[in-house]
Chains A and B, each alone.
Chain A
């Protein structure tokens, strides 16, 4: 009896894992393993993996597209920038040309006006000088007669001598020449 008891105890003891054939639970474990694993396999292979594959592909494509767009926009922006810089340089060059042209015109105008003014002023000055010279000559020519008259008058009044016109004129002339010579 004791022997039988220990055998029963040994049957029940030990790791349950190692008794699965004796107690017959291995069949239900494997059956449910098959069922659940197949279910999960179906879910994974039919639903989950296609979805993830699709979304990863889409993301990759999307990123590549975005990079392409960015590259294209960058190139466009650079083109626009180059065109803008060319336009600015062109405008600056034209403005400089206009400024230089205007300067030249103005300078030419100024020079022309100046020379006209100079010519007018020179002519007027010459004319005035000629007039002055003429007046002086006239005055100098008149002075002989006047001086002779004054001298004969003075002689008449002072010495009571009626001097000959010719004599007086000669004397005055001599005196004037002396004065001029001095």
Chain B
């Protein structure tokens, strides 16, 4: 199992800690979370240090991210979504950073772990549900009964809506988890092909060009997927928030 394509997902403790009997060890996963957050904080703070009216390159990047997320919230949630801007922005930056950090050789992809993704998704799910009931009271339940549905169809629709609502945290977290997992496994498998073919002599070395070329393309694709999944996770959070703000379909 030395070169197993799933070995990259092993969580290896670096320093062991325990608080109240709960394992909170510093692991390779924690290391990469800390590195990404440190890098992103540095990038965001350093980029805006001058805060100039005519921005520099770094500041333009930060401002672009700002406008991107601000636009996403405005389009999907509306003006009331503004108070959740810091959370949405952090979410996007966090997931994007972790996804992209996973593309570095020898790194660990934190978002390829369902535990992390599910924790984020369930937090969003509970938060959105809470906001929905606080803002609309029992009116939030209208979300499950779309207007204009014939009476005899209503029980079925309500059942479907309730199930789809409750599976949101699962779909949200599994989507990110599966995308990161599949991409990284594929890259490792093709990388394994290169090594084993190249070990088989001159003809094998020549033949290893094919998986190598595929891996180059896969790397590009995975960078795209890393950005795309960060975007998808964020925009779905916005859409859920929109449901909580305006429950009537």
On A, residues with C-beta under 8 Å from B are 12-13, 15-18, 20, 23-34, 36-37, 39-41, 43-45, 47-49, 51-52, 54-56, 58-59, 62
Contact = CB atoms under 8 A, between A and B. Distances in A.
Contacts, number: 133
- Residues of A contacting B: mostly: helix
Contact of B119 (A30, A48, A52): A30
Given A39-B41, A43-B41, A51-B51, A15 B6 contact: yes
Interface of B: 1, 6, 9-11, 13, 17, 19, 22-27, 29-30, 33-34, 36-37, 40-41, 44-45, 48, 51-53, 55, 59, 62-63, 66, 85-87, 89-90, 93-94, 110, 112-116, 119-120, 177, 181
Contacts of B115: 17, 20, 25-26, 29-30
Contacts of A52: 48, 62-63, 66
Contacts of B24: 27-28, 31-32
Contacts of B44: 43-44, 47-48
Contacts of B37: 36-37, 39-40
Contacts of B29: 25, 28-29, 32
Contacts of A26: 115
Given A16-B10, A49-B66, A51-B51, A31 B22 contact: yes
A47 B6 contact: no
16 contacts: A27-B22, A27-B23, A28-B11, A30-B119, A32-B24, A33-B110, A36-B30, A37-B90, A39-B41, A43-B41, A43-B44, A48-B44, A51-B48, A55-B52, A56-B63, A62-B53
A168 B56 CA distance: 141
B22 A17 contact: no
B33 A28 contact: no
Contacts of B48: 47-48, 51-52, 55
A56 to B, nearest CB: 7
Contacts of B6: 15-16
B11 A25 contact: yes
Interface centre among B26, B48, B112, B115 (most CB of A within 10 A): B115
A54 B33 contact: no
A43 B63 CA distance: 15
A56 B90 contact: no
* For the complex of A and B, 4 pairs with smallest distance between CB atoms: A45-B86, A32-B30, A26-B115, A36-B33
B93 A44 contact: yes
Nearest to A25: B11
Nearest to B21: A27
Given A15-B9, A47-B44, 5 more contacts: A27-B22, A43-B44, A44-B86, A45-B86, A56-B66
